[in-house]
Amino acid sequence: MVCEDPISVHHYKCYPSINNYLCMEPEFSLNRDDDLCNDSSNVSGITTVISSYLLCICVGFLSVLIMCGNLLVIISIIYFKQLHTPTNYLILSLAVADLLVGVVVLPFSTILVVTSCWYLKDLLCKIRGSFDAFLSVSSILNLCSISIDRYYAVCQPLNYRTKMNVHVIVVMILLSWTVSPLGVVISKWGLKPEESNRCVLFQQARTAIFGIFFYFYLPAIIMSSIYLKVFIVARRQARSIQNTTCQCKKSKAAVSKSERKATKTLAVVMGVFLICWSPFLLCITFYPLSNYTIPVPLIETFKWLGWSNSMLNPFVYGFFYRWFRLSFRMIISGKIFQGDFTNFKLF
């Protein structure tokens, strides 16, 4: 026998009993991953496997670059005493945030993209999303702290050592890491339960715009204003340095020139960060306003561009700072393991 209602064939399962057939409702799940795992054809399965391998190779290579580059920065600042400066402590904090992106966010994101049938996927998705928001906010706050450090170093050099001592730097770093969890809360704020449980690279709630404004646009405006002020003062100092004659003024000129170079380098770091993250955050901002017409794959591509920023900072330091290049060579060659070079003069 079959079920009396032919329409119900697709909605009921029939099981034989003693006298007739019993029609029962099957169990449905909101998550269709199991069906997707079982229904793929051989051709699509092969294509999926190949694309998964390519993605793993590319992301694995990116993660290795991020980890190795930022580890070089971290080891250099910790090992060489000459690099124990307030500015470098802030760079160290930024490098730790970038390192965690390569260790946690990128590998977890790759696993979520490649595997669709893993029972720990929901937990992994929550961990990835939390670390993503946490580290992004921490990076932007560390960059804000660096811009404040550069302001006092160039605009108020006489008060720099008193205003930006080690204790102040430690407080700034702690604030950068303790305020960051609010970014995780704001990223979930305003979402419905079914939306907050969905594993996506970005949230589509309109309330997310407020979080982006306070954690990206506002800090970006502040940093840009500070660096603009710094460059105006630096240009004024450069003009006055050209007229120096005595040895004392020449010594001060050399110090001022070094601070200006450091400021220019760190401004490049900030600029690279804004270039990498602006496309994604602008798309997120205008995504609800455009009635969700921006292609989602494009937004996800910009998200990966933002994560790749964590790889670029060590290259910027190595390109602009001769002492970082020297410390990198000493670490890579293993020279630091052949003796005590903590007091080695890098510059």
Name, in order, each residue with C-beta under 8 angstroms of 16's C-beta and a sequence gap of 6 or more: 22
CB atoms within 10 A of CB 117: 10
Q: Is the pTM of this model over 0.75?
A: yes
Question: How many helices (H) does the chain have, and how many strands (E)?
Answer: 14, 2
CA separation for the pair 257, 238 (Å, rounded): 8
Note whether 21 and 15 are within 8 A (CB).
yes
- Structure tokens given for 234: 């630096």
- C-alpha angle 276-279-284 in degrees, rounded to nearest 5: 125
Looking at residue 332, its pLDDT comes to 94
* CATH of the structural domain 42-335, one choice from 2.60.40.10, 1.20.1070.10, 3.40.630.20, 3.30.300.350: 1.20.1070.10
The enclosing H or E element of 76 equals helix 42-79
Looking at residue 322, its pLDDT comes to 87
Residue 20, CA atoms < 13 Å, CB-side half-sphere:
6
Note down pLDDT in tens along the chain; length 347 residues: 444 444 333 443 444 444 443 443 333 333 434 444 444 444 455 666 777 788 888 888 999 999 999 999 999 999 999 999 999 999 999 999 999 999 999 988 888 877 766 677 778 888 888 888 889 889 999 999 999 999 998 888 888 988 899 999 999 999 999 988 876 666 555 455 444 455 666 655 555 677 788 888 999 999 999 999 988 888 887 777 666 555 555 445 555 667 778 888 889 999 999 999 999 989 888 887 788 888 888 988 899 899 999 999 999 998 888 889 999 999 999 999 888 889 998 87
**Does residue 217 sit in helix, strand or coil?**
helix
Looking at residue 19, its pLDDT comes to 44
Looking at residue 13, its pLDDT comes to 42
First to last CA, the chain: 90
Looking at residue 199, its pLDDT comes to 66
Measure Cα distances from 24 to 7, 9, 102 in Å: 14, 11, 49
Measure Cα distances from 320 to 198, 208, 268, 326, 338 in Å: 43, 37, 10, 12, 27
Contacts of the segment 195-198: beta carbons below 8 A, 24+ positions apart:
197/122
Measure Cα distances from 135 to 65, 103, 162, 209 in Å: 18, 12, 30, 18
Looking at residue 290, its pLDDT comes to 81
Note whether 146 and 171 are within 8 A (CB).
no
Note whether 179 and 135 are within 8 A (CB).
no
Domain range list for the chain: 1-30, 42-335
CA separation for the pair 150, 91 (Å, rounded): 12
